[in-house]
Amino acid sequence: MMDDGEAGPGRTYRIETAGRLSRVSAAAACVILFGLALVPVLAGRYVVQDLIFLFYMLALAQCWNLLAGYAGLISVGQQAFVGLGGYLLFALTLRGEINPLLAIPIAGLVAAVLALPTALIVFRLREAYFAIGTWVVAEVYRLVFAQIKALGGGTGTSLPPSVTSSVPGIDWIASMLDVRTPAARDIASYWLALLLMAGTLAFVYLILRSRRGLALGAIRDNEAAAAGLAVDITSVKLAVYVATAAMTGMIGALIYLQKARISPDAAFSVLDWTAYVIFITVIGGIGTVEGPIIGAIIFYLMQRYLADFGAWYLILLGTLGILVMLFAPKGLWGLVAERYDLTLFPTRRRLVVEAEHAERKGSSRTLS
C-alpha cells in the first residue's frame, strides 16, 4: 500500500464519488423525470393514477431504506406518520380551511415535531424491540385518532370536492389539457407525487453523499466501530428518524389528498404503509439507493397483475420476501451490482491514484 502522505512528483491523488457511468445515469435520471412529468399530457387517467401509486410507494420505500438500511432503525411503525400526515391534512383543510398545497408541508412539519417525543420513548428499546415498540406507538396514534369525533371517529371522514379541487392550478390544468376537473385533480396530484418522489430521492441521495452520509454508512457497516470513530450515533439516528418522519408525513398527506377519504384503520395500516414498503426495499436491495426503485417497479407490476388473487398474492409476496432475505440478502439490485460492479447512484468515495506510468493509471481503491 502506498503512503498517502508522500505524494511524490508526478503522482496525484483525487477523491471522487461520481464515475462516468454515474454521470450518465444522473443525466438519464433527469431525462426520465422530465419524461414522467409529460406523461399526463399523453396518457390516460388510469396510467396517471397507477403512477401516483408507484411514486408514493417508492418515496415511502426510500424513507424506510434510509431509516432501516442506513441508520439501522428497523421500524415497523412508519404507518404512524403516514396516518398522521393524512389526518393532519384533513384537519388543516376541513377545520383550519388551509389550502391543501400548504397543508402538505405543514403536515410534514407537525409529523417531525411529534416524532421527537415519539423517539424519546421508542429509542429506549433496542434492536428488534425497537421494531415492535414503533408498532405499538403507531397503534396508539390509530386509537387516538379513532377517538376524535370531529374527524369522523372510528369510521373516518371524506374531503368534499370543494377542498380537493382547491389545489392551485387545477383550473389551469383543466383548460390547458382540455380535461374535466376530476381528471385535472389527478394530474395535479400526479405532479405533486412526482415532485415529492424526486425530492425524497434527491434528499436521500444528497444526505448519503454528505459528511452525515459517511457517518450513516459507518453505522450501517458496524455500529460499534462507528462509535469508536467518534460518530455520535444517537444524534445521527435521531436526525434520520425525525427527517424521515417529516417526509413520510408529507407523503401521507398527499396520499390522503388523492384518496379524499380517510379512516383510522386504513391510514394506520401496517400492511399498506409498512409491510409493502419493507418488501419493496428488501426485494429491491436494502442499503442502496437503486434497490427501492427496482423493488417499487416489481411491486407495482405484481400489484397490477396479481392483486386480484387476494390472499394468495399476499402469501406469494411474503414468500418472495423470505426467499430474498435468505438467499439474496442484498436484494435483486445487489445481485446485479455485484455481478457487473455497477452503481448508478454512487455514494462511496473512491481514491483515484493518477501516476505517470501508464500501468498505474486509473488504479483505484474504494474507501468506504
Partner 1 sequence: MSGWLDALIQGVLLGGLYALFAAGLSLIFGVMRLVNLAHGDLIVLAAFVILVVGDRFGLDPFVAVLIAFPFLFAIGFALQYLLLNRTLGRDLLPPLLVTFGLSIIIQNGLLQFFSADSQRLRSGAIETASIPLGGGIAIGVVPLLTLLSAIAVIMLLNFIFYRTPIGRAFRASSDDLEVAQLMGIDHQRVFATAMAITFVVVAIAALYLGLRANFDPTIGPARLLYAFEAVIIGGLGSFWGTLVGGVVLGLAQTIGARIDPEWQILAGHLAFLAVLVIRPRGLFPRALD
Q: Site residues for partner 1, window 312-341 (CB under 8 A)? A: 312, 314-315, 317-319, 321-322, 325-326, 329
| Binding-residue total with partner 1 (CB under 8 A) | 43
Smallest separation (angstroms) from partner 1 to the CB of 304: 19
Q: Which stretch binds partner 1 (CB under 8 A): 5-13, 66-74, 226-234, 254-262?
A: 66-74
Nearer Cβ to partner 1, position 100 or 133?
A: 133
Query: Does residue 277 touch partner 1 according to CB under 8 A?
Result: no
Enumerate residues 123-152 that contact partner 1 by CB under 8 A: 124-125, 127-129, 131-133, 135-137, 139-140, 143-144, 146-147
| Residue 224 within binding range of partner 1, rule CB under 8 A | no
- Per CB under 8 A, which region of 39-47, 58-66, 171-179, 306-314 contacts partner 1? 306-314
Which region among 8-16, 40-48, 90-98, 273-281 touches partner 1 (by CB under 8 A)? 273-281
Under the binding rule (CB under 8 A), the answer on residue 27 touching partner 1 is no
Question: At closest approach, how far in Å is the CB of 5 from partner 1?
Answer: 34
Q: Please state the three-class secondary structure of the chain as a single string.
A: CCCCCCCCCCCEEEEECCCHHHHHHHHHHHHHHHHHHHHHHHCCHHHHHHHHHHHHHHHHHHHHHHHHHHCCCCCCCCHHHHHHHHHHHHHHHHHCCCCHHHHHHHHHHHHHHHHHHHHHHHCCCCHHHHHHHHHHHHHHHHHHHHHCHHHCCCCCEECCHHHHCCCCCHHHHHHHHCCCHHHHHHHHHHHHHHHHHHHHHHHHHHHHHCHHHHHHHHHHHCHHHHHHCCCCHHHHHHHHHHHHHHHHHHHHHHHHHHHCEECHHHHCCHHHHHHHHHHHHHHHCCCCCHHHHHHHHHHHHHHHHHHHHCHHHHHHHHHHHHHHHHHCCCHHHHHHHHHHCCCCCCCCCEEEEECCCHHHCCCEEECC
Q: Using CB under 8 A as the criterion, which residues of the chain lie in contact with partner 1 when the complex forms?
A: 68, 72, 74, 76, 120-121, 124-125, 127-129, 131-133, 135-137, 139-140, 143-144, 146-147, 270-271, 275, 278-279, 282, 286, 310-312, 314-315, 317-319, 321-322, 325-326, 329
